[in-house]
Structure 1
Amino acid sequence: MILKLAAEATQTTQLNLTPQLKQSIFILQIASDELVDFIQNKATDNPFLDIEWPSTGINGSNKGGTAGIDHKDRWLNNLSRPGETAETALLAQLRLANIPKSTLAIAQYLAGNLNESGYLEISVDEALAACHADEKEVLYALACLQSLEPAGIAARDLKECLLLQIQRDSSPDPWAAELIVNHMQELANGNRKQLADKLDISIDILLDAIAYIRTLNPRPGLAFGHQQQSYIQPDAKVQKVDGEYAITMTDAFLPKVIMNKEYRSLFTGNISGDISAYVRNQLQDAEQLLWGLAQRKITLRRVIEIIVKEQNAFLEKGVSCLKPMNLKVVAAQLGLHESTISRAVQNKYILTPQGVYALKYFFPFGVSTVSGEEASAESIRTKIKLLVEREDKKRPLSDQQMTDLLNKDGIQISRRTVMKYREELRILSSRLRSY
């Protein structure tokens, strides 16, 4: 065999982000309170930047003077400490756990992403990206978190929540796990005799298992006090003026960033050596920051204008009339990339006549209606929640009954989808809700 070496040319395309673009992307996606800290740090390090805090007239050229910081703290950080919540209780337990520091950091992040019911609100993929960890590390950290008290905490869905409690029970019902893993839908359907025959057990044994399942807690997070609501600063306010909805950007609390012209004029002459390079880099960084802030404001305003235009029914009547929106469609309307819209709606809030909502709330998955339009998954979940709240507690509505009621209301939805949304709401089946 003869080996030969040969040179071969290949052509590849690679996207390289400039520092200016990277900073612009970062500025676009961070929340307003984080932006304040980012601006403060930039102004402290860059002699070309001055900041003025709102309604004080204090110039930030002192580079981080006490007055500026105190004023910012009064705007954003004058919040009383919350009482014990699921997060604070879990963090206290984690500090006593004998786990590696890297695992501890991931577990702490996950603990901060639980809802009031104690369920994990983010996916494993989102945790991977946020923590810069691999799947094995995140799953191990999640297992550590789920091993804490109360049992069932940090579950990703209702089934996992109930199974975690069964696993921790020293004397669980022998059939409970089997029923939850493989027969939840059959339990919901209520044909107990058929299910008992299928499992080859007596009806009494099945009823004992169902009674045991009812003792499990579908919302372990409620054992703690509700987390104190932080004062979210909306990025925009929408209100009706002369019959039309008007948008007001509420960025007045943000510090004003300006170029220090006097300092800049000192370096207009010829400067050589390392000083020249330093000055040039700092000046360029200041200009990039001002450009990024301007682009953030423009993009955010344009996205909110589209939301207000599309969500007129929601603004008038509430969540039940929420209309699904698609990032790709909005991006096409604005002539921007879909990822830009995604970043623009992250960590941003809007004050509407219906309350304060995150911008990403307006981009839900949609379900068809008989009129050919779409109803958002969020609006359907709201309807299901209302149906359960108003039902006869002695005769709870089955998934099929709720499906029929929604169909009569013009929403084309299957019983399986109703069951999925019910479980996402952490609502037990009708058989397990009956008294």
Structure 2
Amino acid sequence: MKPSLVLKMGQQLTMTPQLQQAIKLLQLSTLDLQQEIQQALDSNPLLELIEDASDTSVSGETAESTDEQQVDITEETSPSSNGDGSSIEATNSPSQEQDSDSSESVYEDQWAEQIPSELSVDTAWDDVYEPILPTTGSSSSNSDEEFDYTARNSTAETIQTHLHWQLNLTPLSDNDRLIAIAIIDAVDESGYLTCTLEDIQESFDPELEIELDEVVAVHRLLKQFDPVGVAARDLKECLFTQLTQLSANTPFLEEAKLITQKYLHLLGNHDYNQLMRKAKLKEEQLKQAILLIQSLNPRPGSVIQDENSEYIVPDVIVQKRNDRWSVELNSDATPRLRINASYASLVKRADSSSDNTYIKNHLQEARWFIKSLQSRNETLMRVASCIVEHQKGFLEYGEEAMKPLVLHDIAEAVGMHESTISRVTTQKYMHTPRGIFELKYFFSSHVSTSSGGECSSTAIRAIIKKLIAVENARKPLSDSKIAKLLEEQGIKVARRTIAKYRESLSIPPSNERKRLV
């Protein structure tokens, strides 16, 4: 074919860098957003952090998205109500009413041809390095309590390091020490041995002439280490080792040893009748022996786990004030930014030098970044307010009052696409009087009721949990029985659906919930 030029007309969606940045910030969690903001502060000299909330003097353009925003959801009927008698009153701080265009014009008017003789220092020593507190007085004691040097500088302890520490204090021969090290290395996080003693014996060099009896003897010694029962090959061996360490005067110790050695499978299946018959125990004896076994630790390695608490920083805070549910952004979650007025004033309108171009480019990037933050928090505020307005029953009465809600409902209410709502509700958390929940927690499917209404799957789970909590431990409720009880309340749910909800709540089936009373 002969090459030729063809003119075509069409429409194509092009994502600008500003839009890409806004979408990126929208889907970030609070911790990731803080890291992104810190990177922007490090790379852009035109951005600065507002340390004091009251510091609003000559700040240039401020990230109004990080200022305090509050929405009150009322129960009173108003002309702007949404049909259910609720209305939303939004109040913003004065800095949020400023227009970025007007701020830009102010900067253009303030562009000076003369550079000041002295420029303010960008950073101070105290901004980078924390001052050394005095060693006397109450402030010293408070700082010592808050700063835990061991917790911040020590390495995480594992079950292996804990056992090696005890091994170093135990006098052993060279071969026995090699065997002990091999056994310790084969212990998992739960404290159980992950291979057989024969495999450990075969793993050594034949020239060492290590016999299986030596491995067994060292293994028996390691099981007495702290925590007792560690390096056991199965649950039976773990529990029995812990029972042997108890005092001989412990009540019902022999009955517990008998059950652990011979009838642990019957105890696991809750077959108490057959257990009493085979072990020749009375009901009271069996009950006390089971209580003794339940006091043991089936996972001894779990007590040597590093306990580093992971805290969730909520993005939105919901409180009830004067019979109104108030929704506001967590001002501590997102740092407040502004344009550095000193650097911005150095921009010259008609100057095309490299320094002037550098400042102008970073000034524009800083404005884009602040505007993206503003867009993110405004979207988050709108979505959170809509969720709270829809789920006021949950806030008032708990999970059983949760209403069905899907992404499409919120998308229609706020006039956004479902993908945007999905980004906003992922890894974003809301602090309520009933706890901290991810925004996605408030979304659930619905089940039709006999009266023609709808019931949320979250509410059904709460009802199931409540029914099981008050059931008779001797005759626990089966899934079919729970389905019938729900049907009496007008909720039609299949037995398999009940089983699925029960498993999602980590509730065992009825035969495993059976207990002796």
Do these two structures clear the TM 0.5 threshold for a shared fold by scoring above it?
yes
Q: Separation in 2 of the partners of 1:29 and 1:342?
A: 9
Q: Separation in 1 of the partners of 2:454 and 2:487?
A: 13
Q: Separation in 2 of the partners of 1:380 and 1:69?
A: 54
* Shift, 1:250, TM fit: 2.1
The answer on whether the counterparts of 1:40 and 1:64 sit within 8 Å (CA) in structure 2 is no
* Shift, 1:325, TM fit: 1.4
User: Aligned to 2:427, what secondary structure does the other structure show?
Assistant: coil
1:171–1:69 Cα change, 3 Å: closer
1:200-253 per-position Cα deviation (integer Å, ceiling 9, x unaligned): xxxxxxxx99859749xxxx9997469665443322222222222122322145
User: Aligned to 1:50, what secondary structure does the other structure show?
Assistant: strand
1:229–1:360 Cα change, 3 Å: farther
Match of 1:62 among 105, 115, 122: 122
Which residue pairs with 2:329 in the alignment?
249
The answer on whether the counterparts of 1:345 and 1:360 sit within 8 Å (CA) in structure 2 is yes
1:70–1:418 Cα change, 3 Å: farther
Pairs within 5 Å for 1:224-303 = 224=302, 230-252=310-332, 254-272=334-352, 274-275=354-355, 277-303=357-383
Match of 1:313 among 383, 390, 393: 393
Report whether the alignment pairs 1:344 with 2:424. yes
* Shift, 1:367, TM fit: 2.1
Which residue pairs with 1:375 in the alignment?
455
User: Aligned to 2:480, what secondary structure does the other structure show?
Assistant: helix
1:292–1:148 Cα change, 3 Å: farther
1:410–1:9 Cα change, 3 Å: farther
* Shift, 1:11, TM fit: 9.0
Which residue pairs with 2:495 in the alignment?
415
User: Aligned to 2:477, what secondary structure does the other structure show?
Assistant: coil
* Shift, 1:170, TM fit: 9.2
- TM-score, normalised with respect to structure 2: 0.52
Segments of 5+ residues of structure 1 without an aligned counterpart are 93-146, 153-168, 173-207
User: Aligned to 2:320, what secondary structure does the other structure show?
Assistant: strand
1:259–1:425 Cα change, 3 Å: same
The answer on whether the counterparts of 2:191 and 2:301 sit within 8 Å (CA) in structure 1 is no
* Shift, 1:316, TM fit: 0.6
Match of 2:506 among 422, 426, 429: 426
Q: Separation in 1 of the partners of 2:32 and 2:125?
A: 19
1:65–1:414 Cα change, 3 Å: farther
User: Aligned to 2:34, what secondary structure does the other structure show?
Assistant: helix
1:126-185 per-position Cα deviation (integer Å, ceiling 9, x unaligned): xxxxxxxxxxxxxxxxxxxxx965499xxxxxxxxxxxxxxxx9999xxxxxxxxxxxxx
The answer on whether the counterparts of 2:405 and 2:442 sit within 8 Å (CA) in structure 1 is yes
Pairs within 5 Å for 1:70-149 = 149=189
Which amino acid in structure 2 is aligned with residue 285 of structure 1? E
Which residue pairs with 2:480 in the alignment?
400
The answer on whether the counterparts of 1:54 and 1:252 sit within 8 Å (CA) in structure 2 is no
User: How many percent identity over aligned positions?
Assistant: 33
Count residues with an aligned counterpart: 320
Greater alpha carbon shift after TM alignment, 266-275 vs 331-340: 266-275
* Shift, 1:280, TM fit: 3.8
User: Aligned to 1:269, what secondary structure does the other structure show?
Assistant: coil
1:271–1:379 Cα change, 3 Å: same
Q: Separation in 1 of the partners of 2:322 and 2:494?
A: 42
Q: Separation in 2 of the partners of 1:78 and 1:38?
A: 27
- TM-score, normalised with respect to structure 1: 0.61
Q: Separation in 1 of the partners of 2:301 and 2:34?
A: 35
Which residue pairs with 1:364 in the alignment?
444
* Shift, 1:427, TM fit: 2.4
Q: Say what the alpha-carbon RMSD is for the aligned residues.
A: 4.6
The answer on whether the counterparts of 1:49 and 1:61 sit within 8 Å (CA) in structure 2 is no
Q: Separation in 2 of the partners of 1:429 and 1:355?
A: 28
Which residue pairs with 1:52 in the alignment?
50
1:272–1:35 Cα change, 3 Å: same
Which amino acid in structure 2 is aligned with residue 28 of structure 1? L
Which structure would you say has the larger Rg? Answer: 2
Greater alpha carbon shift after TM alignment, 359-368 vs 266-275: 266-275
* Shift, 1:44, TM fit: 1.7
Greater alpha carbon shift after TM alignment, 266-275 vs 6-15: 6-15
Which residue pairs with 2:408 in the alignment?
328
1:410–1:257 Cα change, 3 Å: same
The answer on whether the counterparts of 1:365 and 1:377 sit within 8 Å (CA) in structure 2 is yes
* Shift, 1:372, TM fit: 3.1
User: Aligned to 1:307, what secondary structure does the other structure show?
Assistant: helix
The answer on whether the counterparts of 1:54 and 1:255 sit within 8 Å (CA) in structure 2 is no
The answer on whether the counterparts of 2:344 and 2:359 sit within 8 Å (CA) in structure 1 is no
1:56–1:282 Cα change, 3 Å: same
1:335–1:148 Cα change, 3 Å: farther
